[in-house]
């Protein structure tokens, strides 16, 4: 999987075209540059929440991308969905087919794709994708 791919891209989620996809790769690159220049300490960038680390270990989809901070482990992608009738902490999707129920109906959901390193706890929000929210036909 390349750096530009996510397990749940806007093209793989029906209804994703209802809103804009927000891509955070430029912010990611800037943060990595600042770390490599020594302007940010490792403890400032390797601070993933314990629940994100649990999700990364248990549900994350491993990529071919090596962690840009520790350079020891492959990054994993974790996708969370937030929206109506979901817990406040959202729901972690472990497989693309788990997104299908969210693409049906009129409810709008938001998917957040986060990359994380299981070794050093570095993490970064890659993309925010709107899903679902079919419009009703007029008539």
Tens of pLDDT, residue by residue over 57-73, are 999 999 999 999 999 99
Mean predicted confidence (pLDDT) in 36-50: 96
**pLDDT at 33 exceeding the cut of 90:** yes
Using pLDDT thresholds of 50, 70 and 90, give the confidence band for residue 4. Answer: very low
Residue 68 lies in a domain: yes
**pLDDT at 1 exceeding the cut of 50:** no
Residue 4 lies in a domain: no
Residue 16 lies in a domain: no
User: Nearest 5°: phi and psi at 17?
Assistant: -75, 0
Residue 3 lies in a domain: no
Residue 13 lies in a domain: no
Residue 137 lies in a domain: no
Cα(first)–Cα(last) distance of the chain, in Å?
44
pLDDT digits (tens, 9 = 90+) for 58-113: 999 999 999 999 999 999 999 999 999 899 989 999 887 888 888 887 899 999 99
Q: How many domains does the chain have?
A: 1
Residue listed under structure tokens 């943060």: 31
Domain extent at residue 93: 23-131
Indicate the pTM of the whole model.
Answer: 0.79
Residue 9 lies in a domain: no
Residue 42 lies in a domain: yes
Give the per-residue pLDDT at 115.
Answer: 96
Q: Which two tokens stand for residue 70?
A: 């520790």
């Amino acid at each position: 999987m390349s750096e530009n791919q996510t397990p749940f891209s806007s093209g793989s989620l029906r209804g994703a075209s209802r809103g804009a996809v927000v891509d955070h790769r430029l912010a990611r690159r800037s943060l990595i540059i600042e770390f490599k220049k020594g302007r940010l300490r490792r403890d400032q960038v390797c601070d993933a929440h314990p629940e994100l680390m649990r999700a990364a270990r248990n549900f994350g989809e491993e990529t071919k991308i090596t962690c840009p901070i520790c350079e020891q482990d492959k990054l994993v992608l974790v996708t969370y969905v937030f929206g109506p009738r979901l817990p406040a902490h959202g729901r972690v999707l472990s497989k693309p087919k788990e997104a299908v129920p969210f693409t049906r109906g009129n409810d709008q959901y938001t998917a957040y794709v986060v990359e994380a390193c299981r070794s050093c706890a570095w993490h970064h929000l890659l993309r925010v994708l709107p899903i679902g929210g079919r419009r009703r036909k007029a008539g």
